[in-house]
Amino acid sequence: MARPGRPPMKKPDLSKWVDSFIEMLLTERNAALNTRQAYWRDLADFSLFLKGNSKVEIEVATTEDIKAYVKELTQRIHVKGEKSGNIASRTIARRLSALRQFYNYTISENIRTDDPTSTIDSPKQKRVLPKTISEKEVSHLIKIAGEGKKSNARRMTCLMEMLYGTGLRVSELVGLPMSAIGEDQKYITIAGKAGHERMVPMTSTAQKALLSYLETREEFIGEDKTSPLAKWLFPSRTSDSGHLTRQRFAQLLKDLSDRAGFESGVVSPHILRHAFATHLLQNGADIRSVQKMLGHADVTTTQIYTHVLTSEKKDVVEEKHPLSKKKAS
């Protein structure tokens, strides 16, 4: 179960309870494919560790097995050159979270009576503030997106305006069916994580970009107007899914970023989502409204953007305040 964009992991002979757990994530929690793949990879990695060390199946692993795995995983991360303590902490915390979920499942299924992760603490992590770009930089990107071949330029402009104007996750954006577009193109209906549906309004500029793109959309479908591709807002004849993929959009965005003169890594689909949220809050939007548009289940997830604003204000004070200038001099 390789995650798109990653090299496939050699499929190990996993315990039947891992497959059962992954199936439960789909049937009971309606977990997204990416979520199920991430759990599978984490549990597969621990299973392979057990087979090479204590020779036991994952459902009977002990606390000592897990501690040994965390130690080995930490060493493995540093050997790869990932020297950042926070990268190591996030990876280990995610693996432990997957194991906790799995062992809670085994207890609920009467496979075992104890949780071997219960006495293991996750590593502490520093708060990582989301990266973003300025309104001026977004405007420059959209301007450059409109240059070039007519149909491609209109599609890229539409993608940019909709991503920045709605805060959609990139997977939500590229996978939009035509049926998601509301009356007069003023809003879109999103089937988000775990099947939660939400309605997101579109800005006037996003509406104009969408109408302009729709005039040339048939060029991406081909001559057969009854093709299954016609189902999608952003169809693609080279994709198995029938629509533009996350990977292809990321590539298009990288090319756009290069043409716009940005350094590598400054612009990404997720950074544009961060920009959407940050700029809304900067301009006085209510955090609950931003939460609903982003599709966050918990407002605390959205509140990280208020920390971005606090950090920016602190930088302004340190740079502009006369006392700070005196200290610097």
Task: Give the residue numbers annotated as catalytic, written as ranges.
Answer: 169, 193, 270, 273, 296, 305
Contacts of 220 (CB under 8 A, 6+ apart): 151, 155, 229, 234, 235, 236, 237
- Three-state DSSP state, 98: helix
Contacts of 36 (CB under 8 A, 6+ apart): 1, 22, 25, 26
Identity of the residue numbered 102: F
Query: Burial level of 190, CB count in 10 A (0-12/13-18/19+)?
Result: buried
Residue 200 forms beta bridges with which residues? Answer: 188
How open is the CA angle 309-310-311, to the nearest 5 degrees?
90
* Rounded distance between C-alpha atoms, residue 36 and residue 32, angstroms: 6
Query: Burial level of 114, CB count in 10 A (0-12/13-18/19+)?
Result: exposed
**CA distances (Å), origin 130, targets 159, 302, 323:** 21, 11, 29
* Rounded distance between C-alpha atoms, residue 240 and residue 248, angstroms: 12
* Rounded distance between C-alpha atoms, residue 241 and residue 228, angstroms: 10
Write out the H or E segment, with its range, that includes residue 190. Answer: strand 187-191
Which tokens hold the place of 197? 């549906």
| CB distance 216 to 154 below 8 Å | yes
